[in-house]
Amino acid sequence: MTAPIKRTEGYAFAYLDEQTKRMIRRAILKAVAIPGHQVPFAARDMPMPYGWGTGGIQVTAAILGPADVLKVIDQGADDTTNAVSIRAFFQKTAGVAVTTRTAQASVIQTRHRIPEEPLKAGQTLVYQVPIPEPLRFLEPRETETRVMHALADYGLMHVKLYEDIATHGHIAKTYAYPVKVEGRYMMDPSPIPKFDNPKMHMSPALQLFGAGREKRIYALPPFTRVESLDFDDHPFERTKFEAPCALCGATDSYLDEVVIDDKGGRMFVCSDTDHCETRREEGHRGALLGTPAEETRP
Amino acid sequence: MYVSVKGGEKAIRAAHRLLAHRRRGDRAVPEVAADQIREQLSLAVDRVMNEGSLHDRDLAALAIKQARGDLIEAAFLVRAYRTTLPRFGYSVPLDTGAMTIERRISATYKDLPGGQILGPTFDYTHRLIDFTLMADSETPLPERDTAASAPAMPRVTDLLDGEGLIEAEPPAAPDAEPGDLTRAPLRVPAARDLRLQQLARGDEGFLLALGYSTQRGYGSTHPFAGEIRIGEVEVEFEVPELGFAVPLGTVTVSECQMINQFAGSAEIEPSFSRGYGLAFGQVERKVMAMALVDRALRTEDLGGAVEHPAQDQEFVLSHADNVQATGFVEHLKLPHYVDFQAELALVREMRREHAAAHASREADTDPVFEEAAE
């Protein structure tokens, strides 16, 4: 954990002015009250480009307090450039403590992943969302999709998934895999791999979703039922990996494929860098680091 | 051995330093000052003020310098700064009829009260690169009009209005507040005030292409440039404590009133209809395109069928903002390892299945072909 640094003067705490934060908090409260429902909010122009997580940043800015400990990940990693940049932004503007440890963080902002370590009560996971509307690629008009949500008319998506099965034998969706929340609203989980979908279900943590360009906030309060869409004869399946992590040997984590030479050489490592480091500190060794002595002993 | 990539922070710092170096360019050439940009690249400043949604010439000029001349990036800098400013309220409607005119032309009347005034326009220049500008040149001062006072210049649409030939401007509801899409999320269908706000903030190139598309048959509006006027207008602000409006200063604006043929509908008698464009500075192309698109977006209100992109509110309003557009297009360069990994696995699996299906089909059909050959 990195202790708080003195925050930059001349801006409000966490950059946004208090009126804006109040407006966002009201949207968040409404979103929590109607799980999975997209609440329009007056997203501001932020000092980062749209598409870089302006929605998540505004949600984080609105909920962050001086005592919070912030973790920011992109693709599961704390050290990707955009995660580094967003973390530095809140260090500067809010002066909060930051960490890479999932267990130590009170607020985790993420792009495209849910940490491997199960979240606890009291933690908040803030997702950056590019397209909040799960039906958008089936129906481009917001005026239409709003009505479809109001009527819980989700036939279009079921037909699409059915057509996938008819054509390919399985549902050809591997990320941003749509879910149904508390049996009511269809929700886009943001472009997390479907591997992460089950982690949203009945999570003790609060999950908030912010889409800046599209000006929408939605939420999953703790212990919300979140079901990935499927059919009785084609149940939802998590992505499985054939090899364990080459560094920590984990067999239950999402893996990144790393190209190691130009002769087709590949290796697989944990996408969640904190998970991988923690396991290595605990003595786990993957194929690349050699199996530790105590495990090879007869 | 594989070592995972670290040091994003260091890389970002180094990149920023290189960026500043590239912005400065050759150190042997004098550095450009923000006030030079403000004075000598003033049309770029105007564009950045409009798309940045903030009237501040100095700030826009500085943003252009910081953005290395990338005007969308400059508008983005101005927008992010604007977010931190408090909003006190809105001004009294500008009276463009009382404008101190610098340019005023009408394409619908040869002569009209107040006359045609060309002003500083590129229109009749020959586009020949002027190599004398390579050297420091003495630019002669413009000629001054010796007339004691400028004649009154009524707006062309007001002249038509007197005859009832153009649709009346619907009166604003007395206490209706103008909408502000930077303070409330835009929802469609949107009222005309919000549409015009989005067009005024919208990308000039996008509006130009949309306006152009209406001229080429994708939702024709049969437009005439009734009037284009550019000049200074006073901005007044109603102060609640005082109970009357006080002038805050003047701004230069460009205004375009398009007059469009309208055959009438079951309820409305035939008349001319309006398309309107207004923006900060001298931005004639922008306000003309804006007026075309404004009229096209009124298609539904006037009882027409929405059939073309420029008439489609949701399409136009959701895609006009270039700061949003550039962000989302460019975000594709952010890492997508995780999703790509998921897709890799899927494509491999589908290829395996495809090959298997192909193999079994060949095994099935081969004997059939032999029979047919026999």
What does the pLDDT look like over B235-251, one tens digit per residue? Answer: 999 988 898 999 999 99
Residue in the block written with tokens 């906030």:
A217
- Of A221, A222, A189, give the one whose Cα is nearest residue A33: A221
* pLDDT < 70 positions in chain A: 291-298
Task: Give DSSP secondary structure letters for B39-72.
Answer: HHSHHHHHHHHHHTT---HHHHHHHHHHTTT-HH
Is it the case that residue B21 has pLDDT exceeding 80?
yes
Q: Which listed residue (A53, A56, A249, A270) is catalytic?
A: A270
Is A270 designated active site?
yes
Is B5 in a helix, a strand, or coil?
coil
Mean pLDDT of the region B69-98: 94
Q: Provide, as residue numbers in chain A, all residues whose Cβ is less than 8 Å from the Cβ of B360.
A: none
Active site residue A36: yes
Query: Which of B335, B244, B258 is closest to B290 using CA atoms?
Result: B258
How deeply is A188 buried, as exposed, middle or buried, from its count of CB atoms within 10 A (0-12, 13-18, 19+)?
Answer: buried
Please give the average per-residue pLDDT across B201-228, as a whole number: 94
Contact A174 B343 (CB under 8 A): yes
Q: In chain B, which residues have their Cβ closer than 8 Å to the Cβ of A42?
A: 182-185
Q: E strand or H helix at A148, and its extent?
A: helix A142-150
Summarised one tens digit per residue, pLDDT across range B315-342 is: 999 999 999 999 999 999 998 989 999 9
What per-residue string of b and e applies to B309-336 under the rule 16 or more CB within 10 Å gives b?
bbbbbbbbbbebbbbbbbbbeebeebbb
pLDDT tens digits, one per residue of B128-159 = 998 888 887 788 899 877 665 677 888 888 88
Answer whether residue B366 shows pLDDT above 70. no
Task: Kindly report each contact of residues A178-182 with a partner whose C-beta sits within 8 Å and lies 24 or more positions away, as own/partner.
Answer: A178/A134, A178/A228, A178/A229, A179/A36, A179/A226, A179/A227, A179/A228, A179/A229, A180/A36, A180/A154, A180/A226, A180/A227, A180/A229, A181/A35, A181/A36, A181/A220, A181/A224, A181/A225, A181/A226, A182/A35, A182/A36, A182/A224, A182/A225
* Summary mean pLDDT of chain A: 93
How is residue A23 written in tokens?
A: 């407006």
Interface of A with B in 197-236 (CB under 8 A): 213, 215-216
Q: What is the pLDDT of residue B237?
A: 95
A16 neighbourhood in chain B, CB within 8 Å: 83
Which residues are bridge partners to A74 per DSSP?
Answer: A77, A111
Q: Is B353–A174 a contact, with Cβ atoms under 8 angstroms apart?
A: no
Those residues with Cβ within 8 angstroms of residue A84's Cβ, 6 or more apart along the chain or in another chain:
A72, A78, B8, B9, B12
The minimum CA-CA distance between B170 and chain A, rounded to whole Å, is: 26
Q: Which residues pair with A4 in a beta bridge?
A: none
pLDDT of residue B170: 72
- Cβ <8 Å between A193 and B7: no
Is B80 within 8 Å of A41 when comparing Cβ atoms? no
Does residue B8 surpass a pLDDT of 80?
no
Residues of A in contact with B343 (CB under 8 A): 174-175
pLDDT at A51: 93
Q: Report the chain A residue with the minimal C-alpha distance to residue B322.
A: A50
Active site residue A265: no
Select the more confidently predicted residue: B349 or B309.
Answer: B309
User: Which 3 state secondary structure label does DSSP give A12?
Assistant: strand
- Which residues are CB-contacts of B152 (< 8 A; sequence separation ≥ 6)? B113, B114
* Res B369: pLDDT: 46
| Sheet of strand A226-228, all strands in order from the earlier edge strand to the far edge | A185-187, A179-181, A226-228
Nearest CA to A125 among A113, A137, A135?
A113
pLDDT digits (tens, 9 = 90+) for A258-270: 888 888 888 999 9
B239: three-class secondary structure by DSSP: strand
Average pLDDT estimate for B90-111: 92
Q: What is the pTM of this model?
A: 0.87
C-alpha to C-alpha distance for B296 and B231, rounded to whole angstroms: 26
pLDDT over 90 at B290, yes or no: yes
Whether residue B1 is predicted with pLDDT greater than 50 in this model: the reply is no
Inform me whether the pLDDT recorded for B373 exceeds 70: no
* pLDDT band, residue B6 (cuts 50/70/90): low
Please enumerate in sequence order all residues whose Cβ is within 8 A of that of A183, keeping only pairs 6 or more positions apart, or say none: A225, A227
Name the nearest CA neighbour of A250 among A223, A271, A236.
Answer: A271
Write down the mean pLDDT value for chain B: 90
In this predicted structure, the answer to whether residue B2 has a pLDDT above a threshold of 80 is no
DSSP, residue by residue, B285-304: HHHHHHHHHHHHHTTTTTT-
Q: Is A13 on the interface with B (CB under 8 A)?
A: no
A140 prior amide bond cis, ω within 30 = no
Please indicate whether, in this complex, the C-beta atoms of A50 and B328 are within 8 angstroms of each other.
Answer: yes
Alpha-carbon distance A298 to nearest alpha carbon in chain B (angstroms)? 28
Is residue B33's pLDDT more than 80?
Answer: yes
Q: Inter-chain contact B335–A194, Cβ cutoff 8 Å? A: no
pLDDT of B372 reads 44
Q: Return the number of CB contacts < 8 Å for A and B.
A: 147
Least trusted range by pLDDT, from A112-116, B76-80, B90-94? B90-94
pLDDT above 50: residue B268? yes
Predicted ipTM beyond 0.85: no
> Which residues does B33 contact at the CB level (< 8 Å), separation at least 6?
B65
Contact of B287 with B228, CB cutoff 8 Å: yes
Per the model's pLDDT, the better-predicted residue between B16 and B364 turns out to be: B16
pLDDT band at B374 (very low <50, low <70, confident <90, very high): very low
* Cβ-based neighbour number of residue A229 at 10 Å: 19
Burial of A271 (0-12, 13-18, 19+ CB in 10 A): buried
Give SS3 for A221. coil
Distances from the Cα of B256 to the Cα of B155, B270, B288, angstroms: 10, 22, 6
pLDDT of A178: 97
Question: Nearest 5°: CA angle at B320, between B315 and B322?
Answer: 140
Q: Which residues of B touch A51 (CB under 8 A)?
A: 327-332, 334
Dump the DSSP string for B104-142.
EE-SS-SS-TT--B--S-STTS-----GGGGS---PPPP
Contact list, B189 vs chain A (CB under 8 Å): 143
* Per-residue confidence band for B365, with pLDDT thresholds at 50, 70 and 90: low
Q: What radius of gyration, in Å, describes the C-alpha atoms of chain A?
A: 20
Answer yes or no: is pLDDT of B370 > 60: no
Q: What is the pLDDT of residue B104?
A: 95
* Residue B298 pLDDT: 94
Dihedral sign from CA coordinates of B27, B28, B29, B35: positive
Inter-residue contact B187 to A147 (CB < 8 Å):
no
Nearest-by-Cβ selection for B82 from A45, A112, A246: A45
pLDDT higher than 50, residue B85: yes
Q: In what order do the strands lie in the sheet with A206-211?
A: A39-40, A216-220, A206-211, A124-128, A107-111, A69-74, A97-98
